[in-house]
Amino acid sequence: MNIERIMTYCNYVFYFLCINIFCLILNIPLFLFMTFIGAKEIITYMPLFLICCIPFPCAFSSSLYCMGKFIKNKDLNIFKDFSKGVKNSFLQSTIIGIIYLFIIFVLCNNIIYSVNNNFNITLIFFFILLLAFILLSSINSFLLISKFSIKTFQIFKYSFIITFTKPTLTLANGFCFIFGLYLFTIYPLQMFFFIFSLISFFIYLINRFFLTYLEENNYKK
């Protein structure tokens, strides 16, 4: 019995590892940027950095889809699960991701311009809050994409509503992301192989009851 449990846990670890590797493969442009240019130059090369981030939404949505299946029924079919996640979310997540990246680009430029020209601190603070809202809303958007088939306009609409009306879940999502990146800075080698899977797992785990509620009361798969 103990051997069976050990093998089961090994399968789970292997599932997380493979999903993470698939996400890393999709995000090769981003990792090339971080390797050869570096995080310190993101502001200098902001347009190039955001272009390199274009594959990220699809990878993240697919990872969330896989973690949803894993949490719900422990059904481990690595390649099939990730392929289905990519197939279901590729076009919509990419379009929505590009829109979010463009908004982020505009807001970051406004913040930098305002700081350099000593604008009113209230205006700068407003832009920072708006940027944080957009970043948190994007997580809700990709979570909805991974679970439901909803029109793009509705994705934005429901994401903004959830961000406003469910601040605890929204902030928890942001914490999962920030904490995952923080662990990456401390244990880069270990987290490199699991960062996407772990962040997606904890975000979906936190939102699983809310997503079930939405599924049962509002949406169809």
Residues 165-178: tens digit of each pLDDT: 999 999 999 999 99
Region 174-184 average pLDDT? 89
Domain assignment of residue 43, given as a range = 2-217
Region 84-102 average pLDDT? 94
Q: What is the CA radius of gyration of the chain?
A: 18
Rounded distance between C-alpha atoms, residue 169 and residue 113, angstroms: 32
Higher-scoring residue by pLDDT: 1, 17: 17
Count Cα neighbours of 144 within 13 Å in the Cβ-side half-sphere: 28
172 contacts: CB under 8 Å, gap ≥ 6: 206
Predicted confidence at residue 218, as pLDDT, reads 63
Q: Is the pLDDT of residue 198 over 70?
A: yes
Confidence of residue 1 (pLDDT cuts 50, 70, 90): low
Confidence of residue 220 (pLDDT cuts 50, 70, 90): very low
Are residues 152 and 92 in contact, defined by beta-carbon separation less than 8 angstroms? Answer: yes
Predicted confidence at residue 31, as pLDDT, reads 87
Residues 94-104: tens digit of each pLDDT: 999 999 999 99
Confidence of residue 105 (pLDDT cuts 50, 70, 90): very high
Total domains in the fold of the chain: 1
Query: Residue 205: is it exposed, middle or buried by C-beta count within 10 angstroms (0-12/13-18/19+)?
Result: middle
Quote the mean pLDDT of the chain: 89
Confidence of residue 219 (pLDDT cuts 50, 70, 90): low
Q: What is the 3-state secondary structure (H, E, C) of 100-154?
A: HHHHHHHHHHHHHHHHHCCCCHHHHHHHHHHHHHHHHHHHHHHHHHHHCCCCHHH
Predicted confidence at residue 221, as pLDDT, reads 44
Rounded distance between C-alpha atoms, residue 72 and residue 126, angstroms: 39
Predicted confidence at residue 119, as pLDDT, reads 80
